[in-house]
Amino acid sequence: MASLGVGLHHVRKRGAGRSAAVERKNLLTVCRFSVKTLLDRSCFETIDDSSPEFINFVSILEHILSHRLKGQTSWFGYETPRSFWDYIKAACSKVPHNCIRSIESMENVRSSRAKGRAWIRVVLMEKRLSEYITFTLRDFRTSRRFYEDGAIMLGEEGGLLADTLIGLNTIDFSFCLKGEGLDGSCPAVIDYTPYLKFTQSADSISSDEEEMRTLGSSGSESSTPDRAATAASIFTEQSNLVSKCKRFEQKYRMALEQKGYLEELVRLREAQLSEAMSQNKALQQSLTDAHLSHTLEKEQLEYIILELQDQLKSFQSLEQLSADMSVSQNSLDPSHTLSLEARSAGKEETPSLRGLCGSLTSVASYKSLASLKSNECLASPTTEVGSPGVTPS
């Protein structure tokens, strides 16, 4: 019983994987057919909201972006359905010059589904749908957060989808963002009938021809055999020509679509190459400017360092010269030397110094007395000779 249960589990798992793969393949194939019909229709008329090809394409793209999209968990643990606009808003917020804020600020568009449909129309008019899808595929972390395993946006089919949508950049779309197409209340439904085409094989064609011949031969009893043979030959020729014309027309359309796709791809790659080259030139120019500024700053710093070293050397030489001059002046000034010696000697009074001071004082007083006596002696004879009435005794 256990082995039987394990076998049933593997069978169910394999069946679920096959059904998921078939679903992804069907959606991508129908999307490719829808893009081709849009390209064919754009050659004859303008694509707008009323075009059935565009309505079907939008429905297919909504199914692809909503394929295995995770629900939003509420506070009570219940999971509510989520629109693909929540994923686009989170994954495309860093796209340069994006239209997320303008769509969020629309007054007549309130529901998430309506905002997602408005976003599809805006990016188609901007010819940037493939760019947005490619940017979302690069943000794998956000994609894992919004989608379950087996989703188209998590597998290789996402890259194929982005490549398929490049062809839409050649179409000039014209939409009204206030129409009924933005109604978020009705879900999108895919119409598969334009893409269901029965191709008749060569064996079936030959069998039909044989039936027609038998019918012609049975009716030849009432007519001549020449007329029956002529009618049968004309019918076969016409049927062959019609089948050949249809085949050639189909091949021509396929070649024309492939040509348009390749031209658009080449133009996109050329634009990317030119942008990369311009960025490379800008980076090289900035690198050259940075290297030049670095060289100039280095030279200026070296010059400043040399100038500071010269100033330091001159300051040191001036200090040395001033020190030498002060020493020489001190050595040449005797009064200063004597005063310094006196000060140094006066710091300690000794008996010899006291005796020397006393002798110097006595000498000075003796000299003053001697001078006074000499002055008195000189003055007394002059007085006696010069007086007329006085006689010597």
Q: Taking a C-beta distance cutoff of 8 angstroms, is the pair 112, 185 a contact?
A: no
Identify the band that residue 220 occupies on the pLDDT scale cut at 50, 70 and 90: very low
Three-class DSSP category at 96: coil
Quote the mean pLDDT of the chain: 77
For 46-72, what is each residue's pLDDT tens digit? 888 889 999 999 999 999 999 999 988
Residue 361 pLDDT greater than 90, yes or no: no
Does the pTM surpass 0.85? The reply is no
Coil vs helix vs strand at 72 = strand
User: Quick one: which of 233, 228, 230, 225 has its CA closest to 209?
Assistant: 233
Highest mean pLDDT among 223-227, 339-343, 380-384: 223-227
Q: Tell me the CA distances in angstroms from 58 to 66, 118, 126, 180, one per residue in order.
A: 12, 11, 16, 14
User: What is the torsional sign of CA 202, 206, 209, 215?
Assistant: negative
CATH number assigned to the domain covering 12-195: 1.20.58.900
Segment 159-218, tens digit of pLDDT: 999 999 998 998 989 888 875 557 667 788 898 888 876 555 555 555 555 655 554 555
Q: Is the pLDDT of residue 146 over 50?
A: yes
At 371, the pLDDT band (50, 70, 90 cuts) reads low
Q: For residue 359, is pLDDT > 90?
A: no
Domain ranges of the chain: 12-195
Looking at residue 256, what is its pLDDT? 82
DSSP 165-220: GGGGGGS-B---TTSGGG-SSSPP----GGG--PPPPHHHHHHHHHHHHHHHHHGG
Task: Give the H or E element holding residue 80.
Answer: strand 79-80
User: Are the C-beta atoms of residues 62 and 121 closer than 8 Å to each other?
Assistant: no
Whether 41 shows a pLDDT value over 60: the answer reads yes
Nearest to 63 by CA among 123, 113, 111, 14: 113
pLDDT (average), residues 107-124: 90
Pick the more confident residue, 143 or 350. Answer: 143
Average pLDDT of the residues in 388-393: 38
Question: Sorting pLDDT into bands at 50, 70 and 90, what band is 80?
Answer: confident
The span from the CA of 96 to the CA of 94, in Å, is: 6
Quote the Cα angle for 173-175-180, to 5°.
145
Q: Is 47 helix (H, G, I), strand (E, B) or coil?
A: strand
Which of 34-38, 224-228, 233-237 reaches the highest mean pLDDT?
A: 34-38
The DSSP string of 328-389 is HHHHH-HHHHHHHHHHHHHTS--HHHHHHHHHHHHHHHHHHHHHHHHHHHHHHHHHHHH-TT
Give the residue among 104, 155, 156, 162 at the shortest CA–CA distance from 128.
Answer: 162
